[in-house]
A = this chain, B = another copy of it.
Amino acid sequence: MSSVKEVAKRAGVSSATVSRVLNKDPAVKPETRNKVLQIIRELNYKPNLMAKNLRKQSSKTIVMVLPTMANPFFAGIARGAQAAISQSGYNVIIGTTEFDKLQLSTYVNLLNTNLADGLILVSSNMPKEALRQLAKQHPVVLCNEYYDDLDIQSVSINNRQAGYDATCELLGRGYRSIGYITGTRESSSLLGRMSGYREALQEAGIAFNANLVAKAKSNYEQVIEVVNSIADKEKSIEGIIANSDMLASYILKGIKEGEIRLPGHVGLISFDGTFLSEVMNPALSTVAQPMYDLGFSSVGLLLQKLRNKPETADKRLFLPHRLIVRET
Q: Which residues of A contact B (CB under 8 A)?
A: 46-51, 53-54, 59, 68-70, 72, 75-76, 78-79, 82-83, 86, 91-96, 98, 103, 106, 109-110, 112-115, 220, 249-250, 252-253, 256, 275-276, 278-281
Q: Cβ of A256: which chain B residues have Cβ within 8 Å of it?
A: 281
Describe A's contact surface by its main secondary structure: helix
Given A46-B112, A106-B86 in contact, is the A79-B93 Cβ separation under 8 Å? no
Q: Which residues of chain B are near A54, meaning CB under 8 Å?
A: 48, 50-51, 54
A109-B91 Cα distance, complex, nearest whole Å? 11
Chain B proximity of A55: nearest CB distance (Å) = 9
Output the least CB separation between A53 and chain B (Å): 6
Nearest 9 A/B pairs, CB to CB: A69-B75, A281-B281, A49-B113, A46-B112, A48-B114, A249-B279, A50-B54, A49-B115, A50-B114
Name the residue of chain B whose CB is nearest to the CB of A57. B50
- A89 → chain B closest CB, angstroms: 11
A250 and B280 CA atoms in complex are apart in Å by: 10
Complex Cα gap A69–B93 (Å): 14
In the bound complex, how far is the Cα of B59 from the Cα of A113, in angstroms? 13
Q: How far is the CA of A240 from the CA of B78 in the complex (A)?
A: 32
Q: Which B residues are in CB contact (< 8 Å) with A47?
A: 113
Give chain B nearest CB distance to A193 CB in angstroms: 23
Bound Cα distance from A91 to B46, whole angstroms:
22
- Contact (A76, B70) CB under 8 Å given A48-B113, A50-B53: yes
For A113, the closest partner residue in chain B by CB is B49
Is the CB–CB distance between B92 and A93 below 8 Å? yes
A104 nearest CB across to chain B (Å):
12
Chain B: CB-nearest residue to A45: B112
Question: What's the least CB distance linking A109 to chain B, in Å?
Answer: 8
Chain B residues with CB under 8 A of A48? 54, 113-114
Would B70 and A69 count as touching, CB distance under 8 A?
A: no
